[in-house]
Amino acid sequence: MRTTSRLRWAGSTLLTALAVILTVIAALPAHAAGPSYVALGDSYSSGVGTRSYLADDGCYRSQYAYPYKAAAAIGASLSFQACSGARTYDVRDKQLGSLSAGTNFVTVSVGGNDAGFSSIITQCAKPWPYTCWGDIDKADNFIRGTLPGRLDELYGLIRSKAPNAKVIVVGYPLLFNGETCNALARLSAGEQSRMNTTGDLLDDTIRGRAQAHGFTFVDPRSAFNVHRVCDDVEWINGLSSPTTESYHPNRDGHVAYTGLVRPQLS
């Protein structure tokens, strides 16, 4: 009988101790989950140019891309929606599904594909007698006349779907330094200068529409100033194999982008 009583007493004491422990645990403050971060946009956000991708789905999302690296740096839960080739209406129709009132941060880069930058580079790289001046003029007219409305529509939708988020609009670096270092893509100094001028027009237009919506604009042009195609230390790939890697930030470029974007995620 004594042994039975002792066992009952020990069991009762153990249950009491467990109850106290559970009560203390329940009273402890809960650890807040990391912020919610949604990365939208085109190949400059997905990570084309870094040569290593998370899935073979045509979007070329990379663990070396700035959204992935910035999210890890702040402990954020990342919804990585950016996809290679995306235009404003692709972001609108295919990438906004994970936005909500609980979204803390949004980054978006888009507009270059709308303006046809890839096609312009392809045309400019063709040998004489092909020229690309008309293509550049067409892009300039599109950026001035059509792109602002497309951006306004997209930015308005982002705000309506993520009303509490800080939205960071990320621009594009200028690609060229005036030199010709790729034998198979001999863009003249004049063509490079005109394309850089169009790049400035694109960034300035995006910045204007972003600021009109109360969004933060991240401008990478100064950071990439001496790291363009043909510079001694390139942060942007020149003509590459495979060609999909061409004229996009490499891994060092995305480190630079991360350094620009990360401070805004606060």
| 12 catalytically annotated | no
* 120 close to 136: Cβ distance less than 8 angstroms: yes
Q: Of 46, 79, 246, 248, which one is the catalytic site residue?
A: 248
Q: Of 36, 43, 84, 246, which one is the catalytic site residue?
A: 43
Residue 55 carries which side chain, given as an amino acid letter? Answer: A
- The two tokens of residue 81 are 């929606």
Scanning 163-218, the segments in alpha helix (DSSP H) are 189-212
Contacts of 150 by beta carbon, 8 Å cutoff, 6+ apart: 88, 89, 111, 114
* 42 close to 56: Cβ distance less than 8 angstroms: no
- 3-class DSSP assignment, residue 3: helix
- 3-class DSSP assignment, residue 75: coil
| 254 catalytically annotated | no
Note the residue count of the chain. Answer: 266
Which helix (H) or strand (E) covers residue 78, if one does? strand 77-80
Enzyme catalytic residues: 43, 248
